[in-house]
Amino acid sequence: MVLKKRLLVSAMAVSMAGGTAIPAAAAPWTRGFVVGSYEYAFRYGGRADYSRGAEIEPGVDCPHGSTIHLANPDQTKTAVARQKWRSQQEIDWITAPPGVDQTKTPGLTRRHIWARAMSYRGYKRGIETYVNPWATDDPGQPEVTSRIGDGFNLDGKIKATDFVSPDGEKGIDNNLYRAWGCDAPWRGGGNATLDLRANDKMQEGLYTMVIRVSGNQDPRNDSDATVEIGYSPDNIVKDARGGISTDYSYRILQPAQYTKLKAKIKNGVVETEQVEHMHTPRIAWFYDQTGDTNFAKGKIRLNMSSDGMTATGLLGGYRNWHDLYAEDTFAQDGGQQGTREHEDAAALYYALRRNADGILNPKTGKYDGISSVYRIKMSAAFVVDPDKPMDIPKLAAEEQHKAAFEGIKQAVIKGADTLIPQPVPPGTTEASFPALEHEMDGLPSKEYFLKTLDRPHYAGERTAPPTPQQRPQQPPKPKQQVRNEAPVITAQGE
């Protein structure tokens, strides 16, 4: 198979005047990349000589290791004992549900009981914790203590609290790393739980991000280059070993999740301008989370290999910290994140609020944004414009879930702004409802928990599993996808 050349350059023109070869003016060139790894730019100061013990590996950035919220009965008991309105029996029974071993799935049943209890830790009964994290006390989130951090000087200042980059640049703004860098599922040397999950889902077709770099001088040194970053409707193509294949074509869409930036290149390092708003796809592992990052004061730095086959880079800017909280907490629900991932979303909320450092809200006088940096790794690709304009495809079967995700995010923002507790919007799985009801068959203490533990209530709700006649008809499965076919059921504008 004959492939196009990755780098489009014109040949040198030779003038024979005087027998001297004279190069013509530099010609246009383009390099394209598809992103295969996309994660928060958290550094990992782990110790090679550490023998794993009772805590996740500590390092210079997190001397006490990662968070262990809600990982065991002791953690759970400590969390529920903080609510003064709970009786001692309630605390004891939540911690060790009587008769749980008599259920079909003791571990799952116990986890759902914990998740529901964790979902109601407000200053009084009935206030859902993850929609209203401000209404509970701060569980405490260990924060990064290291001075070394990746990123950019976004505000043009050098402050005592800023990070220093690995190459010595001062004034680095990356407060998302400070707030969440010790959070267990985001902490690791490229193998953190949620990093692996997000990259796996991206590579399997949830979404695709591409970058196109172009100029008129030289791809290694160009004072007037252009960087485009955006969403592609084409699935990532993988090789037989599971890596990202090179030299495949991907369309780049411009209606949304797209930004075009001016840039300069020196020795293969691309530095873009800083723009008021930089739109790119955002990290996600469920369709609900997919969307636009919308970095304020955003910029990009790329390091392209000399042969154009690979590149690495950083994206940075200020992100609305309410959005970050919602993306992490409500992809599933806050209780699952706590009992399975061992992170407490209430603690993450307070850490974000405490470290917010950008996007000043003139009405509140507080910052709505937090400096955030993402790390990417890319492989060579042909990044092309579509034959005709098209919008980002939508998964029709998932739009209802995505609407519920957006609804719960808006409830968080409204509650935080007004300090008025908000109800849980319908369509979510918050407080393990109705999963817990389905998992308590055979539990002797079932009626106690159903009566005692708070949960969301909705009009016309049904807690029992539907009968065959009540079950909705399943939509037909989408046809088998082929290379570069978008995983969509409906698409607008195409």
pLDDT one-digit tens code per residue, 196-242: 999 999 999 999 999 999 999 999 999 999 999 999 999 999 999 98
Does one domain contain both 408 and 300?
A: no
Domain presence at residue 253: yes
Does one domain contain both 134 and 145?
A: no
In single-letter form, the type of residue at position 158 comes to I
* 87 contacts: CB under 8 Å, gap ≥ 6: none
Q: Report pLDDT digits (tens) over 18-41.
A: 444 444 457 899 999 999 999 999
pLDDT mean over 170-176: 98
Does one domain contain both 156 and 175?
A: yes
Does one domain contain both 31 and 156?
A: yes
Domain presence at residue 446: yes
Does one domain contain both 201 and 286?
A: yes
Q: What are phi and psi of 245, to 5 degrees?
A: -70, 150
pLDDT at residue 115 above 60?
A: yes
Range of the domain at 125: 73-138+400-452
pLDDT at residue 135 above 80?
A: yes
Domain presence at residue 82: yes
pLDDT at residue 14 above 90?
A: no
pLDDT at residue 16 above 60?
A: no
Lowest mean pLDDT among 30-44, 85-99, 180-194, 293-307: 180-194
Domain presence at residue 472: no
Domain presence at residue 303: yes
Given this model, what pLDDT does residue 49 score?
59
pLDDT at residue 88 above 80?
A: yes
- CB atoms < 10 A from the CB of 356, how many? 22
CA torsion sign for 103, 107, 112, 115 is: positive
pLDDT grade for 191, boundaries at 50, 70 and 90? confident
pLDDT mean over 116-142: 96
Domain presence at residue 91: yes
The span from the CA of 244 to the CA of 240, in Å, is: 9
Given this model, what pLDDT does residue 332 score?
84
Given this model, what pLDDT does residue 492 score?
38
- CB atoms < 10 A from the CB of 323, how many? 21
The answer to whether residues 306 and 423 touch, using CB atoms and an 8 Å cutoff, is no
- Domain-terminating residue out of 417, 434, 452: 452
Domain presence at residue 406: yes
Given this model, what pLDDT does residue 229 score?
98
Given this model, what pLDDT does residue 70 score?
86
Does one domain contain both 429 and 323?
A: no
- CB atoms < 10 A from the CB of 454, how many? 17
pLDDT at residue 490 above 80?
A: no
Given this model, what pLDDT does residue 107 score?
93
**Could you identify the residue written with the tokens 């873009």?**
272
In single-letter form, the type of residue at position 342 comes to H
Given this model, what pLDDT does residue 387 score?
95
Q: Report pLDDT digits (tens) over 320-371.
A: 999 999 999 998 899 988 898 889 999 999 999 999 999 999 998 999 999 9
pLDDT at residue 494 above 90?
A: no
Q: Give me the percent of the chain exceeding a pLDDT of 70.
A: 85
pLDDT grade for 62, boundaries at 50, 70 and 90? confident
Is 177 or 47 the better-scoring residue by pLDDT? 177
Given this model, what pLDDT does residue 295 score?
98
* 5 contacts: CB under 8 Å, gap ≥ 6: none
pLDDT mean across residues, the chain? 87
Does one domain contain both 61 and 104?
A: no
Is 486 or 396 the better-scoring residue by pLDDT? 396
pLDDT at residue 470 above 90?
A: no
Does one domain contain both 39 and 178?
A: yes
Instruction: Indicate the DSSP class of residue 494.
Output: -
pLDDT at residue 467 above 80?
A: no
The answer to whether residues 312 and 11 touch, using CB atoms and an 8 Å cutoff, is no
Does one domain contain both 190 and 254?
A: yes
Q: Which two tokens stand for residue 434?
A: 């109705």
User: Does the reported pTM lie above 0.85?
Assistant: yes
pLDDT at residue 261 above 80?
A: yes
pLDDT grade for 2, boundaries at 50, 70 and 90? very low
pLDDT grade for 57, boundaries at 50, 70 and 90? low
Q: What are phi and psi of 260, to 5 degrees?
A: -115, 125
- Domain-terminating residue out of 343, 365, 393: 393
Does one domain contain both 96 and 245?
A: no
pLDDT grade for 52, boundaries at 50, 70 and 90? low
pLDDT grade for 111, boundaries at 50, 70 and 90? very high
Does one domain contain both 219 and 132?
A: no
Q: How many domains are there within the chain? A: 2
Domain presence at residue 469: no
Given this model, what pLDDT does residue 48 score?
58
pLDDT at residue 476 above 60?
A: no
Q: Report pLDDT digits (tens) over 154-164.
A: 999 999 999 99
Does one domain contain both 258 and 353?
A: yes
Given this model, what pLDDT does residue 69 score?
85
CA torsion sign for 152, 154, 157, 158 is: negative
